[in-house]
Amino acid sequence: MLGLTQGITEFAPVSSSGHLILVPWLFGWSILNDPELNKTFDVALHIGTLAGAVAYFRRDLARYLIAWGRSIAARRIATTDERLAWALVLGTIPGAVAGAVFEGYIADHLGAPWLIAVMLAVFGVLLYVVDRVASQRRALEDLSVRDGTVLGVAQALALQPGVSRSGVTITAGRAMGLDRASAARFSFLLSLPIIAGAGLFKGVDVVRSGLPSGMAAPFAFGTIASAISGFLVIWFLLAYLRRRDFAVFMWYRLAVAVVVLVVIALGIRPASGL
């Protein structure tokens, strides 16, 4: 369940971090209050999502890595691929820095279900409104290095559960005039170093301490589920956004927010998430 949740919501603009808190919270699963188990599954799900995304974007990644190396060797940016490679590299920095500095605070203080519900609603409406008013005059190849950096700053906002990494970067991309598919494609590519970094950062501790007893099979199933579902969601979204807008995602986010707030108001689950 958590593997599918991660794979489906990591790239859909609905917040994977928010869903990975809300799903155990709604069902009362003990993983929410077990730091070691939580960290173990976090690593499994990040590895799986990364594997699925790398499989899908393998040609893009190879092309941009080669272009980046060529640009460094020549000490100049001469081609579109080199410019996009630098946009991705520089766009990764804000999120990486913010994650390193604020991850502990966010995990301890900003993961309450009521706050996630508010973020889901606010940023879902923002995505839809920006998409409706923005033009689609630019393609992926028109992105500058500065644009990549700005999108990286937007990505850093997604450390708050409920915002959505893909959602906020797509919103920023649409505000720049990128067409929907281009905004989504750059957003997905930009997320890969952050996903890899998060998995590596937490994975070091898991390797040192080892998997909790009896968790090898769930770890494997979670990884496989997130990899397959992540791959399929990327494929679906890039095709879907060539023809359709983000209305369905806004309505979904609003519906989840309402459900969470009603569950809290009725006293079924605690607002704090504990």
121 confidence band (pLDDT: 50, 70, 90): very high
**pLDDT at residue 237, as a whole number:** 96
Query: Which CA distances in Å does 119 have to 152, 170, 219?
Result: 19, 16, 29
**pLDDT at residue 34, as a whole number:** 66
The average pLDDT across 184-195 equals 94
Task: Tell me the whole-structure pTM to 2 decimals.
Answer: 0.92
pLDDT of 149 above 80: yes
What is the rounded average pLDDT for all residues in the chain?
91
More confidently predicted of 145 and 47:
145
pLDDT digits (tens, 9 = 90+) for 231-245: 999 999 999 999 999
User: Which of 199, 200, 164, 160 is CA-nearest to residue 184?
Assistant: 164
Cβ atoms of 81 and 63 within 8 Å: the answer is yes
Q: Is 191 exposed, middle or buried (0-12, 13-18, 19+ CB in 10 A)?
A: buried
* Calpha distance 38→261 (Å, rounded): 24
Residue 210, helix vs strand vs coil: coil
pLDDT digits (tens, 9 = 90+) for 33-73: 666 666 677 778 888 999 999 999 999 999 999 999 999 99
**pLDDT at residue 254, as a whole number:** 98
- Count of alpha carbons within 13 angstroms of residue 116, beta-carbon side: 30
**pLDDT at residue 14, as a whole number:** 96
**pLDDT at residue 29, as a whole number:** 81
Rounded to the nearest angstrom, the gap between the alpha carbon of residue 167 and the centroid of all alpha carbons in its chain is 8
Q: What percent of the chain has pLDDT over 70?
A: 95
